[in-house]
Amino acid sequence: MKNKLILIAIFAFFIFAIMANVYAIGITPGRTIMDFEAGLEKEVQFKVLNDQGKDMKVLLYVEGEFSKNIQIKEKVIEFKKDESEKVLSYKFKLPKEKIKPGEHITSIIAMEIPSNQSVNGTFIGATVAVATQLKIDVPYPGKYINGNLIINEDKNKKSVNFYIQLKSYGTENVAKVEATIDVYDQSGTKITSLKTNSVALPSGKKKEIITSWDKNFKAGKYTAKVSLIYDGIVDNFEKEFSIGSEDIEFVGISVGDFRLGDIAKFNILVENKWSEELKNTYAQMLILDENQNSIDEFKSASIDILPLEISNLEAYWDTLRVKEGDYFVKLILHYLDKSLEKDFKIKVMTDKIEIKDFGSLSGRAVSGATSGKTTAIVIILVILLVLINLAWFLYLRRKKKLKGKTSR
């Protein structure tokens, strides 16, 4: 009995050690995007966030293509529990020679390390790492468009919607871009052919084209083969997707304490109604102006959502250059090979962000900020109850055995 209790205590210790690091650290902005200029030198600011309000040590390092071109002033920073954030910066210098066209991504990583750990040593114990990216866009000569297909099943309208997010990476404007989407079932049989609307796309700009499939489909796995056509150029790509199996819903969204110019923390509650775990689930938020032009974009970290569980996704928006007013928001939840989309509005004020037109589900959101700390506390309490019940069960069973021996 004594040995079993010791094992339980050890198990509980490790659970607490792991849970202590959940949501402990954040970073913003998630990504900084710049166009390539030969020999460009610049300093970029970012913030590391102490989400749990605790004493901690954070190691900063760089990974990626331009890691040798980036210098961070401070390699190790220390937080006191009353420090909510630290403003830091890194300097970079781009090569003078031409580099390959396309996206070039380098990550500046902030990793929590044990407070007594030497930076040069091997890190032991649970750690949490977050990253801010520097993305350098190198334009392609002429006309070049990148398309990203997002597929969303609208069960209320009994349709499947196809959105192709477009960005022009070429040096020239595109007069007309459209797409044809051929849908195939698992046997390779062509089920339907769909055509999107067409748009003009200036160099360096983003737009979206859409179409929908609203009849004669059954639950199952499919492949969408896309032909993206622009000014005589054809780009082909494909994506697998499922209909009518994995089920996930938005529960609600809220914003914690906020001041205009600071970091806005969006808490996005989602419910996995499926009987299996949904891995690598994350939220993407597009902020649009009154003319539906995209002015900002950010993402949450990826998480795994257990079956029949409600989980919280945290996304951070840097409002340093944001003005007061009304904005449209396109919220996209990415999971498996599918996505779920929600359109709503927000009103940005000096001391708060008001969520508008999110729908009836918003009433189920926890009022105020639903923080990762609250989620962690709930999980810890559940684990404690399980451990207490297990210990009590072992104690009663042991007592019963001893009583039986005595009666003999």
253-286: pLDDT as tens digits: 999 888 898 889 999 999 988 767 889 999 999 9
Q: Is the pLDDT of residue 156 over 80?
A: no
Give the per-residue pLDDT at 305: 92
Q: What is the mean pLDDT of residues 297-325?
A: 90
Q: Which of 50-59, 161-170, 181-190 is the least confident region?
A: 50-59
Helices (H), 140-194: none
Q: Is the pLDDT of residue 113 over 90?
A: no
**Who wins on pLDDT, 17 or 79?**
79
Q: Which of 103-107, 158-162, 201-205 is the least confident region?
A: 158-162
Give the per-residue pLDDT at 120: 52
* pLDDT per residue as tens digits for the range 340-379: 889 999 999 999 999 988 764 432 222 233 334 444 444 5
* Residue 406 three-state SS: helix
Burial class from Cβ neighbours inside 10 Å (0-12, 13-18, 19+) for residue 84 reads middle
Q: Is the pLDDT of residue 121 over 50?
A: no
Q: Is the peptide bond before 95 cis (omega within 30 degrees of 0)?
A: no
**Who wins on pLDDT, 141 or 119?**
141
Q: Report the distance separating Cα 263 and Cα 315, nearest Å.
A: 10
Contact 179, 229 (CB under 8 A): yes
Give the per-residue pLDDT at 383: 63
The amino acid that residue 405 corresponds to is: K
Give the per-residue pLDDT at 276: 74
Provide CATH code, domain 145-243.
Answer: 2.60.40.10
**Who wins on pLDDT, 61 or 320?**
61
CB atoms within 10 A of CB 115: 10
DSSP character string of 3-44? HHHHHHHHHHHHHHHHHTTTT-EEEE-SEEEEE--TT-EEEE
Q: Is the pLDDT of residue 332 over 50?
A: yes
Q: Report the distance separating Cα 98 and Cα 100, nearest Å.
A: 7
DSSP code, position 80 = -
Q: Is the pLDDT of residue 143 over 60?
A: yes
Give the per-residue pLDDT at 266: 94
Give the per-residue pLDDT at 394: 65
CATH topology for 25-138? Immunoglobulin-like (2.60.40)
**Who wins on pLDDT, 156 or 297?**
297
* Highest-confidence segment of 8-12, 30-34, 234-238: 234-238
Confidence band of 385 (pLDDT split at 50, 70, 90): low
Angle between helices 372-407 and 2-19 in degrees, nearest 10: 180
Confidence band of 217 (pLDDT split at 50, 70, 90): confident
Burial class from Cβ neighbours inside 10 Å (0-12, 13-18, 19+) for residue 282 reads middle
List of E strands, 139-204: 145-154, 159-168, 174-185, 190-195, 199-201
**Who wins on pLDDT, 397 or 354?**
354
Which percentage of the chain shows pLDDT scores above 70? 77
Give the per-residue pLDDT at 116: 64
SS (H, E, C) 204-224: CCEEEEEEEECCCCCCEEEEE
Which CATH number is correct for 248-370, 2.60.420.10, 3.40.190.10, 3.90.550.10, 2.60.40.2360? Answer: 2.60.40.2360
| Total count of residues recorded for the chain | 408
Question: 52: closest CA among 117, 108, 112, 10?
Answer: 112
Give the per-residue pLDDT at 159: 86
Mean pLDDT of the chain: 82
Confidence band of 153 (pLDDT split at 50, 70, 90): confident
Q: Which of 32-41, 131-140, 183-192, 367-376 is the least confident region?
A: 367-376
Report the half-sphere exposure of 406 (CA within 13 A, side-chain side). 6
Q: Which of 54-58, 323-327, 379-383 is the least confident region?
A: 379-383
